[in-house]
Structure 1
Amino acid sequence: MKVLILTPQALYRRWPTTPDTTKMMTNAAPVTMAQLAGALKGHEVRILDGNVYDIPLKEYAEHIRWADVAGMNVMCSYAALNTELNLKFIKKLRPDLPVVMGGHHPTFQDAEWIERGADAVVRREGEVTFPELVDALAAGRDLSGVAGVTWRGTNGEVNRNPDRPFVQDLDTLPLPRWDLVDFSGYYLYLRRAGKSACVETGRGCEQSCAFCQVGPMWHNTHRFKSTERVLAEMRLLKENGVTQVFIVDDNYGSKLDTTRQAALYEGMRRENFGFEWGGFFRHDYIRANHELMLAAAASGLKFVCIGFESVQGADLKEFNKGNAAFDGGGSYEEEYRFLKEAGITVFGFMVIGYPGQSQAAAMQTIENAHSFCDYPVVTVYKPLPGTAGYRKTKQDGLLAKEMFYHDSFTVAVKGTKPILAAYNKFFVRYVGNPVRLVRNLLDPRLRRVELAIIRWFALGIFNANPDNVSDFLWFLFKGRKLGEEEVIEHLRKKYLSEENVARLARRAGA
């Protein structure tokens, strides 16, 4: 069969900037799509990454007409409306084309995606489930025998098959099909230009942070590839001209595998890969492993993403963060100085607007962020389905809306609009601060990142079109006075309407 693996095209855009700030520092070729392609033995596969390649609608339609089955990824509620619009667009062009959803969002809201038109959902891991699903379709069988799948029956009913056990030995997974990937659009803003790609060294997380879907996604397990397997994947990347790597593990800096990491850094130096790389680390891991972090820097580590979340101990307890090294924020500053001296850039991830958090406490975290990170990446709390935080927020009656969709115009927790407004003002001041801008442009460690941020904002502004500018003006003068569900419903009616889908189909040549 001809299998199209895709992330959605940007048929719906936010303006003046997109909500996905992570693309500023982690725009690397996705190993998940390449690895899934490697698992599809005996089938013809194409990879189409709409996160990076914004192709004309007619070209998009040609890929859709080529395929016998399409697999589409959606990670979060921010992307749900655009993904659903892609689903409707595909079905408008090809009502007969089976569309299979995968990723965190469909795993926890599988029935909702079937009700919205998807033919099947692959829950959690896909490298075994998706090939079995494609083989069943090729043989003309229904999906009742494929574990880990939720699917639409002949009468429209939702069928949820039993879960599939996790792959225990990740070394048995196929090598990624990097030959199917066009690397030209991917780049990590480090200190030099070059192709970039993701590497997965492990899967899952043993932590139970209340706001995070990763723990529930993987049942709080953490599995690892062997050092030799990771080095083999890195050799493939070097053969493809990759010079920058993002280790995409949800919790790469884990207390569970320091011996394996030491062997990996030694192997990277021995093989002389010359990669510049980054990944997600925990603050308490860094504090306990200075020598290992210096070894990582010697192997090419140039940036870390650290989930600080808050400088308030009460918040961390509420988050169930489990940061044993937290001492009121002083250790944050100490570790930042250590990393800075090692030549490592720090992206500090923070969550504000948690139920019960005061505006003063929220602003204290982000206004002090400059003392413990180079770039604050702030999220206004979204209770994600499947998490302990979602269950508690809903039980306490504090959920401002359901979480299938989310948008930067809305909040998810009742009473947090003032926090969002205060953060937006801070963000404008922070980005527009000329002293900060000049200082970072003069710092070799930060210059390329700063230029990336400028580029990201410029692209967002130049992506203006009548639809997204009218959305902005509508919200400015009317939408902000409405409830959260009313805002989402306005966007749904505008973008998911039959009229809008038909308009897109006509532009695609249908």
Structure 2
Amino acid sequence: MSNAKVAFVRPPNLQKSGQWKKQGVIRCPLNIGLLASFIRERGDYDCVLVDFETTETSSITEMAEVVLAQSPRYVCMTTLTPRFPTAVRVAQEISRLDPAVTIIFGGPHVTGSPQTALYEGISYGIIGEGEQALLELLDTLEAGRDPSSVANLIYRDRNATRINDARPFVKNLDELPFPAWDLMNLDDYVDPAYFKGRHLAIFSGRGCPYDCTFCASRVTWQRKLRLRSADNVMQEIRHIVNVLGVRNLMFWDDTFAANKKRAISICNSIIEEGLDIRYTVQIRADALSDELIEALRDSGCGFAAIGVESGNERMLDNIGKRETKDRFRTAVSAMKRAGLPTIASYIIGLPGDTHETIKETMEFAMELDADQSKFMILAPYPGTRVYDIAFEKGLVDPTSFEQMEDLNYYDSVAINLSEVSDEDLIKYQDQAYEQYDAVHAS
């Protein structure tokens, strides 16, 4: 088998500003860590990882030179929509400096907008779950064969972009290797607001069975929920704690308690083994029970994040939330009684949002009074149902780099589906934080 070098690249987040930048938050590149681990184990490729969240550069050319200094035969770049324009520019500069390098794009943006993914300089794209597709593509290219039949592949056929059908998802997630943590400088990944020292992330499952109109989870995972076994999750936690020496974790599952019995089992194992970790989860309010809340608290959960989204019942119905204000009240009240810190998130500018419904959301946030509240402006990412609505209304330009870069939740409105002006949406976001901060400063 070939020992070709593959460079996995995370583009920089140029949208970091305000409090986010001030806090110095840097998350680990878990997705490309998983991909690198898989192709290294199954294909014996020589992998490196370049993280431009932690690598200081001053220009696109310098980024390209940093990547090429690794002497890769293949460059694989992950692409969230706001970072896609920068990724394209870096890819094009790499291609200009060394046309022999094969550049492969993947990630949520490519999956959500495959028809516009292959800019000049980008050799191939991969949609959906990437491990098996990337390995097959690399093996095919190394063997000198035509890759056009590789499932999940986006490729050029003369002047047309071809998008192959997606392959079935990996059935047993327990069979996948743990992330290639050895390719990263773990000390770089910090979040001073929540953790003392470095922190890492973990996926204990993939997908979400729900179908909220604003959520990009369905873009990649198609609402198909797959969970790792509790034993396999615990093996990874032990490795992170005992081998890597990291005790701060973020579970990046869309909803940690999709299987409540498994979630409680993981919590109880952490307690029984005395692992002494601090971790965070994202969870639905309707999944919370007193037993689960206590298990989370006692096993080291530093906070549970719930998506409330709106304080108006009609808006909750319209976005497919399938939860009610009373359900949120019950959940937050139970977490407060148990002493489990809560983060509640809200979306300003949902389709049809009015001055009245936005004010209801702000009032509901003050009523729930979570330990922390986040107020985000709607960002319709490609592949979501709100993006489809915006496209039908003629509000989307799939090739606009400026619009992509504005899809960042804070201080900008890229696509407005509400009945409120862009300026007022930003004002409401500022007011919501001011009101929340005023209450918690007293």
Q: Deviations over 1:322-351 (max 9, x none)?
A: 11xx2xx35434432332343333221212
2:353 to 353, 357, 370: 357
User: Does 2:214 align with 1:223?
Assistant: no
1:81 to 76, 79, 85: 85
Structure 1 partner of 2:281: 279
Map residues 275-354 of structure 1 onto 2, 5 A cutoff.
275-286=277-288, 289-323=289-323, 326=324, 329-354=325-350
Q: Is the Cα contact below 8 Å between 2:377 and 2:413 reproduced in 1?
A: no
Note closer, same or farther for the CA distance 1:88–1:345 as it changes in structure 2 (3 Å cut).
farther
Q: Is the Cα contact below 8 Å between 2:375 and 2:432 reproduced in 1?
A: no
User: Does 2:388 align with 1:384?
Assistant: no
* Amino acid aligned to 1:420: L
Which segment is superposed worse, 363-372 or 219-228?
363-372
User: How many Å separate the matches in 1 of 2:108 and 2:221?
Assistant: 10
Q: Deviations over 1:14-39 (max 9, x none)?
A: 48538xx5996974423322221111
Q: Deviations over 1:54-111 (max 9, x none)?
A: 35664761332421111111123x2222222322332333233211111111012122
SS at match of 2:18: coil
Ranges in structure 2 where 5+ consecutive residues have no aligned partner: none
Q: Is the Cα contact below 8 Å between 2:64 and 2:91 reproduced in 1?
A: no
Q: CA deviation at 1:133?
A: 1.4
Structure 2 partner of 1:49: 51
Map residues 226-237 of structure 1 onto 2, 5 A cutoff.
226-237=229-240
Q: Is the Cα contact below 8 Å between 2:249 and 2:279 reproduced in 1?
A: yes
Q: CA deviation at 1:156?
A: 5.0
Q: CA deviation at 1:206?
A: 0.3
1:109 to 110, 113, 120: 113
Q: CA deviation at 1:384?
A: 2.9
Which segment is superposed worse, 202-211 or 358-367?
358-367
* Amino acid aligned to 2:425: L
Map residues 24-103 of structure 1 onto 2, 5 A cutoff.
27-41=26-40, 42-55=44-57, 58=62, 61-65=65-69, 66-76=71-81, 78-103=82-107
Note closer, same or farther for the CA distance 1:236–1:16 as it changes in structure 2 (3 Å cut).
closer
Note closer, same or farther for the CA distance 1:84–1:401 as it changes in structure 2 (3 Å cut).
same
Note closer, same or farther for the CA distance 1:423–1:87 as it changes in structure 2 (3 Å cut).
farther
Number of aligned positions between the proteins: 422
User: How many Å separate the matches in 1 of 2:106 and 2:337?
Assistant: 41
Ranges in structure 1 where 5+ consecutive residues have no aligned partner: 440-510
Q: Deviations over 1:462-509 (max 9, x none)?
A: xxxxxxxxxxxxxxxxxxxxxxxxxxxxxxxxxxxxxxxxxxxxxxxx
Map residues 454-469 of structure 1 onto 2, 5 A cutoff.
none
Q: Is the Cα contact below 8 Å between 2:230 and 2:266 reproduced in 1?
A: yes
Give identity over the alignment, percent. Answer: 24
Note closer, same or farther for the CA distance 1:311–1:424 as it changes in structure 2 (3 Å cut).
closer
Structure 1 partner of 2:170: 167
Q: CA deviation at 1:44?
A: 0.8
* Amino acid aligned to 1:236: H
Query: Which structure has the higher relative contact order (CA within 8 Å, separation 6+)?
Result: 1
User: How many Å separate the matches in 1 of 2:16 and 2:276?
Assistant: 38
Question: TM-score, normalised to structure 2's length?
Answer: 0.87
Map residues 472-487 of structure 1 onto 2, 5 A cutoff.
none
Q: CA deviation at 1:436?
A: 3.3
Note closer, same or farther for the CA distance 1:14–1:148 as it changes in structure 2 (3 Å cut).
closer
Q: CA deviation at 1:234?
A: 1.0
SS at match of 1:195: coil
Which segment is superposed worse, 167-176 or 383-392?
383-392
Q: Deviations over 1:187-246 (max 9, x none)?
A: 244665122111111000000111112124212110011111111111211110111000
SS at match of 1:344: coil
SS at match of 1:128: helix
Q: Is the Cα contact below 8 Å between 1:28 and 1:246 reproduced in 2?
A: no
* Amino acid aligned to 1:345: P
Note closer, same or farther for the CA distance 1:425–1:179 as it changes in structure 2 (3 Å cut).
closer
Q: Is the Cα contact below 8 Å between 2:152 and 2:166 reproduced in 1?
A: yes
Map residues 105-504 of structure 1 onto 2, 5 A cutoff.
105-153=109-157, 155=158, 157-189=160-192, 193-238=196-241, 239-254=243-258, 257-286=259-288, 289-323=289-323, 326=324, 329-372=325-368, 373-395=370-392, 397=393, 399=395, 401-402=397-398, 405-407=404-406, 408-413=411-416, 415-416=419-420, 417-426=422-431, 429-430=434-435, 433=437, 436-437=440-441
* Amino acid aligned to 1:47: L
User: How many Å separate the matches in 2 of 1:228 and 1:275?
Assistant: 17
Which segment is superposed worse, 22-31 or 116-125?
22-31
User: How many Å separate the matches in 2 of 1:179 and 1:114?
Assistant: 31
